[in-house]
């Protein structure tokens, strides 16, 4: 299939998928929970737990009391004492709530990302700056917490895809029937592909991605290819590619 034909396929998929019925309890996605609150901190919690079975992700997120983001540290720890999710123990989950609570009392997540991003228009600089700030307000070092919030890599191109953060940024920066568009300071042309196994495999099958290694370099390569389809909004194809892979349509 030629790139022009793939572009037509994806453009049609984007149009068909761009409606709220694409995210529901029948078609679970962490965005389903995040979009009910329209809050950047709650959305980040939804994104960071966005790994594993989609149905179980939504089930876990719906069990959380997000009003705890305004509660005392002690109340947070007590209320979440019986919660756990895969690699994260209750203490890890409570730590994320406390860190985000402290952060939002200082400045918005958007402003933190923007501080790192604005120098060169590089979304990864914004991400590294945010991770550093998040870890500084409530330091914690456990396997579960480190997996949840991420760390700053020594070599960016061979690092992981940071899929959950890239997905979060898509939700925050883009605005359509799916994405919330709560932010205004970051340009959607600078977003990077939230590459997961579905999008990685379907992109390779379609010839959009030549790299065989699942890493940040692959995410950047795929984003560059999609920029030839739409330079101003390359990541609009993310959800369509994800569903094509998930539903085994490509």
- 148 C-beta neighbours (distance < 10 Å), count: 22
Tokens of 207: 């010839």
- The confidence score (pLDDT) of residue 243 equals 85
- The confidence score (pLDDT) of residue 137 equals 96
Which domain covers residue 215, as residue numbers?
3-246
Each residue of 78-103: pLDDT tens digit?
999 999 999 999 999 999 999 999 99
- The confidence score (pLDDT) of residue 244 equals 87
- The confidence score (pLDDT) of residue 250 equals 73
Counting residues of the chain whose pLDDT is more than 70, the rounded percentage is 100
- What is the rounded (10 degree) CA torsion for 77, 78, 84, 87? 30
* Calpha distance 47→113 (Å, rounded): 16
Number of domains comprising the chain: 1
- The confidence score (pLDDT) of residue 158 equals 85
């Amino acid at each position: 299939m030629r790139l022009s034909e793939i572009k037509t396929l994806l453009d049609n998929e984007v149009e068909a998928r761009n409606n709220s019925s694409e995210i529901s309890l029948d078609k679970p996605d962490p965005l389903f929970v995040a979009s009910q609150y329209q809050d950047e901190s709650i959305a980040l919690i939804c994104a960071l737990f966005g790994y594993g079975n989609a149905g179980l992700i939504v089930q876990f997120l719906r069990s959380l009391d997000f009003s705890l983001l305004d509660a005392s540290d002690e109340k947070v720890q007590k209320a979440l004492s019986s919660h756990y999710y895969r690699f994260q123990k209750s203490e890890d989950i409570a730590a994320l709530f406390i860190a985000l609570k402290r952060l939002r009392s200082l400045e918005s997540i958007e402003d933190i990302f923007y501080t790192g991003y604005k120098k060169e228009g590089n979304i990864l600089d914004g991400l590294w700056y945010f991770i550093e700030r998040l870890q500084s307000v409530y330091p914690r070092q456990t396997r579960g917490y480190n997996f949840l919030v991420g760390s700053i890599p020594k070599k960016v191109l061979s690092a992981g895809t940071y899929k959950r953060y890239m997905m979060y940024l898509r939700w925050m920066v883009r605005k359509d029937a799916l994405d919330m568009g709560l932010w205004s300071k970051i340009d959607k042309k600078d977003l990077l592909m939230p590459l997961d196994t579905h999008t990685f495999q379907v992109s390779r099958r379609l010839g959009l991605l030549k790299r065989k290694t699942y890493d940040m370099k692959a995410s950047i390569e795929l984003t560059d290819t999609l920029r030839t389809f739409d330079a101003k909004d390359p990541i609009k194809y993310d959800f369509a590619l994800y569903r094509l892979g998930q539903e085994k349509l490509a």
